[in-house]
């Protein structure tokens, strides 16, 4: 039994750019995951500007835990973008939802009280806009040809 089933890319009829956008977003998931997992402070202080003077161990542990989830999730997104493209619209939609919830929390919800916005807050908001564009493109059937007008 193979680890990965055969590719289903031939069944995908949306815009190829949507699959490539998803592949790029996988890298933008894996790299922060590596930072959160392997940097000594998980990026909390040096990148995120989180005050680590109290409860530093708990904060760093949460960042490492999140990084441990981001790395395999990003790899899964990359595999889907490269080998199982019929799932691109679904994964884009779910990733838009994830980023929208994160952006809302960072700008207006639980994470907004400090007034400081780490790069992820901006990236999440940008992803929602770009992701929505590529989601719509992924739903368009490029096989459908417009009939010539006479």
Report the percentage of the chain scoring pLDDT > 90: 70
Nearest CA among 109, 88, 43, 107 for reference residue 70: 43
Q: What is the pTM of this model?
A: 0.85
Q: Which residue has the tokens 């790899």?
A: 75
The residues, any chain, with a CB within 8 Å of residue 3's CB and separated by 6 or more, are none
CA distance 40 to 60: 8
Nearest CA among 90, 93, 102 for reference residue 66: 102
Query: What is the pLDDT at residue 82?
Result: 97
Tally: H helices and E strands in the chain: 4, 0
Q: What tens digit of pLDDT does each residue of 36-85 get? A: 999 999 998 888 888 899 999 999 999 999 999 999 999 999 999 999 99
Alpha carbon 94 to its chain centroid, in Å, reads: 9
Query: What is the pLDDT at residue 139?
Result: 95
CB 30 within 8 A of CB 74: yes
Angle formed by the axes of helices 88-107 and 119-139, nearest 10° = 150
């Amino acid at each position: 039994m193979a680890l990965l089933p055969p590719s289903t890319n031939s069944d995908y009829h949306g815009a190829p750019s949507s699959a490539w956008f998803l592949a790029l977003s996988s890298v933008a998931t894996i790299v922060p995951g590596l930072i959160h997992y392997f940097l000594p402070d998980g990026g909390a202080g040096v990148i995120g500007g989180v005050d680590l003077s109290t409860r530093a161990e708990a904060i760093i542990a949460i960042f490492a835990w999140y990084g441990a989830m981001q790395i395999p999730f990003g790899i899964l997104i990359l595999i889907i973008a490269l080998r199982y493209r019929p799932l691109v619209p679904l994964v884009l939609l779910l990733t838009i939802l994830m980023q929208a919830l994160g952006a809302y929390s960072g700008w207006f919800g639980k994470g907004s009280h400090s007034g400081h916005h780490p790069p992820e807050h901006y990236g999440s908001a940008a992803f929602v806009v770009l992701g929505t564009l590529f989601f719509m493109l992924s739903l368009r059937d490029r096989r459908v040809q417009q009939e010539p007008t006479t």
